A and B are shown apart, each in its own frame.
Chain A
Amino acid sequence: MLIKIRDHCAATEQEITPKELYLNRREIIAGASSAAIGIGTAAITMPFEAPEARAAKATKIFESVTRNSAFDVKEKLTPEKDVTSYNNFYEFGTDKEDPKRLSAGFHTKPWKLIIEGECDKPASIELDDFIKPQKLEERIYRLRCVEAWSMVIPWIGFPLADVIKAAKPNSKAKYVAFTTLQNQEQMPGQKHPILDWPYREGLRLDEALHPLTFLAVGLYGEVLPNQNGAPLRLVVPWKYGFKSIKSIVKISFTSTQPKTTWNMMAPEEYGFYSNVNPKVDHPRWTQARERRIGELFKRDTLMFNGYEQVASLYQGMDLKKDY
């Protein structure tokens, strides 16, 4: 039992609780209640905090978000400081440490999201209004970068499928294309023609509808840091990290396979699918092993990054050809 001390500056419970401790407790609560109710999800609440205090911090920290234990990988989480300081986000520089530094002044409010293309319910919507009706949940996913390193991250967000269903794609819709914001003032990396800006990614409609495919608005219980793709990013855990496009401004339904940034840059190195596959090497380096951030030596990479449940999406396909 924690002993609560209110000091003169009235720090709230969460502010004085070390993140590790608070997460541990959340895990315990999550585990206990899910066992008790016997369902996949468990409510995680902060039992010591007044609702008013919670509302005041609503923009900073996600409260009473449920962890979906069906998507918990039961592996050690990558420390938050590593998740938020080691990033590939070329819009803010090509060094891993650049995005944290260069995205400090990035404005994510207001933020307009456009949903368009082959669908019955296109929309141009302010992001807050878009997120409000969504049922947020926490999911712990492995993230495998194409550069052969990996992390385990607790994301907060909602399934992309929910968004797609609401947009009502028509019969011509076969793919979903995503676009990152293009704004040189705000994203200094875009001043250099390193990639063909804006960054673009895409999924086949069935991939996009898969229950694993996630839109994240937070991580580690907090609003998504800018360097991690604020305010809205995709998380597709069985594909290499670059498929999980950041700072999304547009989602469109298309009838043909959309162009994707890394594939345009080097098609022989980065396929449209880019599923994590230890048997298909990158032309320049091996994908059989990976370095988990926080570990010195490498470990074996798993097929589909360990998410074998997606295998049926690719039945009958030659994954050496459709890499």
Chain B
Amino acid sequence: MPLTIKQKLLLTKMLLGAILMVPLGMLITGFFTDNLGANPVEKMTHVTGDWALRILLISLAVTPMQRLFKWRKIILYRRLLGLLAFFYALLHFSVYLIFDQELNFADTLTDIKKRPYILLGTIALGLMIPLALTSTDRMIRRLGAKKWKKIHKSVYLVCLLAITHYWWLVKADISLPAFYLLIFSSLMVLRLNATRKSHKDAPAKTPPQ
């Protein structure tokens, strides 16, 4: 029996989800088999943070790719990507909370206030919460496409904060955060170009009063 379009979509989504769970799976097996190197906590922090940022960047690439490759259906995977990025960011924060702060919330608050890069990371995570909460079909309908879009524009800020958070904590070798910033800026340029073009193509609006 051939699969319906809906079933196919579900299957590919599950596949994508499974692939992006591989880093987590490797961390978990590595943790229990003592294979995370000399400093497992640092490894967990780095891997979860890296993947949160990478998946976030992939999710931001969806719309430009849709335009560039005329790949309409790719948009159907954007929500999953966004949620996975949030999931990894949450894991990243949890590692910090559990192993660095030992769940001492008062200390954590002091630390967040005192360290700019941790503050930026925390703000980025905080800004992702409303995006995750309003990601359901029901919320999109309730808010209306226009309002929903407006809320979800903050994802650009989240990404920029995340890159800055990373940039700020490295000691000397900024090549990786710089690489992420380059990707982010390229995606932004692609977006702006597309917006400008669509404005040009759009019929003239009524002049402002």
Contact = CB atoms under 8 A, between A and B. Distances in A.
Nearest to B171: A147
A76 interface: no
Contact of B172 (A90, A97, A286, A291): A90
B172 A284 contact: no
Contacts of A97: 37
Given A94-B173, A297-B99, A284 B168 contact: yes
A90 B170 CA distance: 13
A99 B67 CA distance: 43
Contact of A297 (B38, B42, B102, B116): B102
B93 interface: no
Contacts of A149: 39, 42
Contacts of A82: 38
A271 to B, nearest CB: 15
B188 to A, nearest CB: 27
A86 B38 contact: yes
Contact of B39 (A94, A96, A285): A96
Nearest to B101: A298
Contacts of B114: 281, 286
B116 A284 contact: yes
Interface string A12-46: 00000000000000000000000000000000000
B131 to A, nearest CB: 28
B25 interface: no
B169 A298 contact: no
A263 interface: no
Interface residues of A, number: 24
A166 interface: no
Interface in A69-89: 81-82, 85-86
B87 interface: no
Contacts of A94: 172-173
Contacts of B38: 81-82, 85-86, 96, 293-294
A58 interface: no
B80 to A, nearest CB: 30
A296 B173 CA distance: 26
A207 B6 CA distance: 72
A194 B39 contact: no
A87 to B, nearest CB: 9
Contact of A298 (B37, B100, B116, B173): B100
Given A284-B115, A285-B115, A296-B99, A291 B169 contact: no
A258 B42 CA distance: 33
A270 B32 CA distance: 36
Interface in A188-246: 192, 194-195
A265 interface: yes
Given A284-B117, A286-B111, A297-B102, A265 B172 contact: yes
Nearest to A295: B41
Contacts of B41: 291, 296
Contacts of A286: 111, 114-115
A149 B45 CA distance: 14
A85 B37 contact: yes
A176 B40 CA distance: 37
A293 B42 CA distance: 10
B110 to A, nearest CB: 9
A203 to B, nearest CB: 22
A293 to B, nearest CB: 5
Contacts of B115: 284-286
B165 to A, nearest CB: 11
A288 to B, nearest CB: 10
Interface string B149-178: 000000000000000000011011101000
Contacts of A195: 172
A137 to B, nearest CB: 26
A-B CB proximity, top 8 nearest: A86-B38, A82-B38, A94-B173, A194-B172, A293-B38, A194-B173, A296-B99, A297-B102
30 contacts: A82-B38, A90-B173, A94-B172, A94-B173, A96-B37, A96-B38, A96-B39, A96-B42, A97-B37, A147-B171, A192-B173, A194-B173, A265-B172, A284-B115, A284-B116, A284-B117, A284-B168, A284-B169, A286-B114, A291-B39, A291-B41, A291-B42, A293-B38, A293-B39, A294-B38, A296-B40, A296-B41, A296-B99, A297-B102, A298-B100
Interface of B: 37-42, 99-100, 102, 111, 114-117, 168-169, 171-173, 175
Given A90-B173, A192-B173, A293-B39, 7 more contacts: A85-B37, A86-B37, A96-B42, A149-B39, A286-B111, A286-B115, A294-B38
